Each structure stands twice: as C-alpha cells, then as structure tokens.
Amino acid sequence: MQPSVEIGPLSGPLLVTVAYLGFWYYLLVGLQRKTKYRLFKEYTADGRQFDRYFGQDPQMLAADRAVINTQEQMVPFLTAFWMYALFVSPRVATVLGMAYIALRFFYPRLLGKALFRMQPRRVYFVTVPSYALIFYMLGATVWQVIGSS
C-alpha cells in the first residue's frame, strides 16, 4: 500500500519524532516506574509507608520532574520542529531535532537522582539551549513564511 504523502524528505523528521517519543516513554516507564517500585521496596523493608504522591521523597521528585519537564516541552518542541521541517528545511530540522533530543538526554542526569527544594542550576546547561532551539525554529519558520508571501 502506497502512502498518500511523499515521505522521502520527511523521513528524518519522522525518525526524530519517534526518537523523542521513545525517549519520553523511556523516562516514563524506565526511570519513573523503576524509581517508584525501588522506593516502595526500600520503604516497605524499613517498615515505613511509601506515599507516592505526597511523600515528597527527593528521588521520586527527581524522577517525576524529569518526566514532566520532558512532557511539558513536548508540545512546543514538536510544534516548532514540524513547522520548521515543513516550511523551512526537513534536513536541517532533523539535525536540530537530534541536537534537541541529545540535550534532553542530559536533563535527568544534570537534575540528579534526588531533588530537594529547588532544581539545581546546572539544568540550565540543557534548558537554555533547548529553548534557543525552539525559538530559532519558530523564528525561522515565521521569517520564511513572511518572506515568501
């Protein structure tokens, strides 16, 4: 069965989208779930009750923050990414998208295994360039659309 759309030039952006969703699921099922069950076992072994949502365990907070931050950035990233891929350049979008995913990969590592009152400032090494990529893709798309009309 032939696709109704020519996929060739969009194969890179499609792979980036699948990679981003795969990374998010890794954080959701791998990091968050693994942390939850590991902490449950530790708390139970010590005779304490593990409260997943209100217990404020620093390790659970860090895992949750990594997942939620990646999810929060999903809409702005994928929107800017696909607009750039469709209106500016699918090849450049693929490179920018892979760079964005590489940056996101370091977010949980820079956040750390335990999160206390505030997130550490070292996560700015990921968030600032990530925001810059999103704003660049949005700006370049607007510039392209305005320039071509």
Domain that holds residue 108: 9-148
Which of the four pLDDT bands, split at 50, 70 and 90, describes residue 77?
Answer: very high
Segment among 49-53, 86-90, 122-126 with least mean pLDDT: 49-53
Which CATH number is 94's domain given? Answer: 1.20.120.550
Residue 143 belongs to some domain of the structure: yes
Mean residue pLDDT of the chain comes to 90
The predicted structure's pLDDT at residue 2: 72
Residue 133 belongs to some domain of the structure: yes
pTM of the model: 0.86
pLDDT in tens, 106-127: 999 888 887 776 667 888 999 9
Q: Which one of 4-8, 55-59, 101-105 scores highest in mean pLDDT?
A: 101-105
Residue 142 belongs to some domain of the structure: yes
Q: How many domains does the chain have?
A: 1
Query: Can you list the alpha helix ranges (DSSP code H) found in the chain?
Result: 11-25, 33-45, 58-72, 74-87, 90-111, 124-148
